[in-house]
């Protein structure tokens, strides 16, 4: 990587740009992930067929590696940005009881680091449970995994259902600020559209968090 390009990415503006881009890419992945997981509503056969088609695709491993890199870069750059901000402002600003109407200060924006840490832990648990968790084969098949059975196994336990609902709520909180912030970081922002962008962030957060939370609840209630 050329030194000039590396310096740009290491700058404050470059760091925010990388955070924004990787965040938006992760948001796009969540849309696809939610759409795929929603197939569970169509029954065991449809869900297992989808899961098998996905995992047997030769591009899945490169895609997973790319997704992991995006996730790691997002976490790393966010941590670097947070540390830099703390060093630049060792004494926190006085708290205000109410932000002005143009302020983007919110509970979601104030807890981005905390929610991000919890989400990272949640992702590790989620991947362990479903990507590398209990492995069953569809009856009569020697190649098709019965991922539907694994979902039933996990979400038949109320504590796991509660855990996923809380975790997806935090995902929504993170997206509530992250979507609008990401669009701003990549330059897709303008004072005339600020309210719309914030609204899009809220809608996106509700759709993703709500959709992801409904699945474990639905599985639990229908078993």
Closest CA to 56 of 141, 154, 116, 120: 141
Q: Which has the higher per-residue pLDDT, 61 or 184?
A: 61
Contact 154, 160 (CB under 8 A): yes
Q: Is 145 helix (H, G, I), strand (E, B) or coil?
A: strand
Mean pLDDT confidence for 96-104: 48
- pLDDT digits over 51-68, tens only? 999 999 999 999 999 999
Q: Which CATH number fits domain 13-84+107-222: 1.20.1300.10, 3.60.20.10, 1.10.287.990, 1.10.20.140?
A: 1.20.1300.10
Residue 125 pLDDT > 60: yes
Burial class (CB in 10 A: 0-12, 13-18, 19+), 25: middle
Least confident piece of the model among 11-15, 101-105, 116-120: 101-105
Cα four-point dihedral sign 7, 8, 11, 17: negative
Task: Identify the DSSP state of 93.
Answer: P
138/147 Cα distance (integer angstroms): 9
Q: Which candidate, 188, 211, 205, places its Cα nearest to that of 21?
A: 188
Residue 183 pLDDT > 70: yes
Task: Report the alpha-carbon distance of residue 15 to residue 21 in Å, rounded.
Answer: 10
Quick check: 128 pLDDT over 90? yes
Q: Which of the residue ranges 12-21, 182-191, 198-207 would you say has the lowest mean pLDDT?
A: 182-191
d(CA 73, CA 66): 11
**Domain regions of the chain by residue span:** 13-84+107-222
Question: Please, are residues 172 and 106 in contact by the beta-carbon 8 Å criterion?
Answer: no
pLDDT attached to residue 179:
87
């Amino acid at each position: 990587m050329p030194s000039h390009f590396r310096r740009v990415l290491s700058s404050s503006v470059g760091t925010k740009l990388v955070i924004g881009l990787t965040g938006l890419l992760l948001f796009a992945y969540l849309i696809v992930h939610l759409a795929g997981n929603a197939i569970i509503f169509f029954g065991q056969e449809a869900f297992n067929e989808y899961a098998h088609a996905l995992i047997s695709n030769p591009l899945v491993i490169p895609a997973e590696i790319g997704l992991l890199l995006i996730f790691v870069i997002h976490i790393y750059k966010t941590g670097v940005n947070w540390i830099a901000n703390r060093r630049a402002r060792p004494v926190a600003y006085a708290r205000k009881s109410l932000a002005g109407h143009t302020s983007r200060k919110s509970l979601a924006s104030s807890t981005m680091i905390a929610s991000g840490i919890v989400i990272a832990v949640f992702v590790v648990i989620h991947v362990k449970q479903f990507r590398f968790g209990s492995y069953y084969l569809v009856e009569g098949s020697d190649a098709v995994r019965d991922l539907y059975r694994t979902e039933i196994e996990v979400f038949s336990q109320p504590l796991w259902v509660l855990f996923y609902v809380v975790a997806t709520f935090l995902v929504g909180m993170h997206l509530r600020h992250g979507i609008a912030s990401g669009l701003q970081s990549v330059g897709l922002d303008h004072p005339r559209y600020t309210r719309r962008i914030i609204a899009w962030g809220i809608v996106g957060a509700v759709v993703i968090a709500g959709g992801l939370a409904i699945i474990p609840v639905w599985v639990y209630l229908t078993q």
